[in-house]
Amino acid sequence: MIAVIMAGGKGTRFWPRSTVTKPKQFLTLASEEATMLQQTYARFRTCLPEENVYVAVSENYLPIVKEQLPELADNRIIIEPDQRDTAPCIALTASFFLRLERDDVLVTAPSDQYIPETEELMEALRAAEHAAKTDGVVVTLGIVPTRAETGYGYIETIESDEYASKYGERVKAVKAFIEKPTKEKAEKLIELPNMYWNSGIFIWKPSTIASYMMKFQPQMWSIFELKDEEFRYSYSKLPKLSIDYALVEKLDRLYTIPIEFIWDDVGTWTSLERIFSTDGDGNLILGQVHPFATRNSIIYTEQQRIVTIGIEDLIIVSTAEGLLICRKSDEQSVKNAIAALDTDQEGRQT
């Protein structure tokens, strides 16, 4: 088994701490000592030999990867010419290993997840590896939901023993993917026994990825026959597609292994409340913050002292990059707000 850590995201929901020049996977968010990338790399290294842990990253972040993982050899870095989302990244990864004539089962995993229970993770991955050795079989890890989360996609499985007898007792066939739901829909989904969060962790062989790319994304896959500057140019022009949308939602040989250990997609400021302890008023305080009559808020500052009086359910983040103030209930809108801000700034410069 080979683990490929995808470290090319932008993490805009963590603005203004996460920036274009240094996005969240390179920050100490879930730990005071190690960055998200360093934690993910260490997690896989406890279970896999050094030569079986790779990092896929866009070229502009290569210096940061080398700084944070000095032990990572150059031949274990898969370099994207540009950031084009997870579908092109995983296609590049499959092409990389097929060129090396290696068709070992791959674990393609995000670099920004919080999974403290490494042993339980590897048990699930080994069970998935057994199934994924079969040509055309794709396995994902499905997280047993603990709340009505609107920021995750959901996986609906088929309740049948047929697939368990074929691929192992933990394996369930996937019936459908469900996009990020409304609060009302999420509350209904978590009541169902066959519903799981989509972890974004996939287990499959390079040849399996290639076969599905040729079938569902032939134009994208065709550029991997190009070389040098022609390839770099074509890659930069690929559409930004998630692997879910490009491939996974179209598959009929898709399975999941439900897991119940601690897992978090550290994607928003409120996710930190599930990792760190809050004070007696429910506040998560990071930095020189002096809260008065303040409840259930997240307040982070890097340099400036912050005094809050009479506030509730807010996110306040102050860094050299900027200042964010929003209701906790609106944090899913941060990404769109920053995209609009960037578009406005680009317009003023032209």
> Residues 178-197: what's their mean pLDDT?
93
Q: Read off the pLDDT band of 163 (50, 70, 90).
A: low
Return the pLDDT at 165.
64
pLDDT higher than 80, residue 2: yes
Q: What is the mean predicted confidence (pLDDT) over 89-112?
A: 97
Counting residues of the chain whose pLDDT is more than 70, the rounded percentage is 97
Three-state SS letters, the chain: CEEEEECCCCCHHHCCCCCCCCCHHHCCCCCCCCCHHHHHHHHHHCCCCHHHEEEEEEHHHHHHHHHHCCCCCHHHEEEECCCCCHHHHHHHHHHHHHHCCCCCCEEEEECCEECCCHHHHHHHHHHHHHHHCCCCCEEEEEECCCCCCCCCCEEEEECCCHHHHHHCCCCEEEEEEECCCCHHHHHHHCCCCCEEEEEEEEEECHHHHHHHHHHHCHHHHHHHHCCHHHHHHHHHCCCCCCHHHHCHHHCCCEEEEEECCCCEECCCHHHHHHCCCCCCCCCEEECCEEEECCECCEEEECCCCEEEECCECEEEEECCCCEEEEEHHHHHHHHHHHHHHHHHHHHHHC
pLDDT at residue 11 greater than cutoff 60: yes
Asked whether the predicted pLDDT for residue 177 surpasses 80, the reply is yes
**Would you place residue 346 in the very low, low, confident or very high pLDDT band (cuts 50, 70, 90)?**
low
Query: 348 pLDDT exceeds 90?
Result: no
| Confidence grade of residue 344 (pLDDT, cut at 50, 70, 90) | low
pTM for this model (two decimals): 0.93
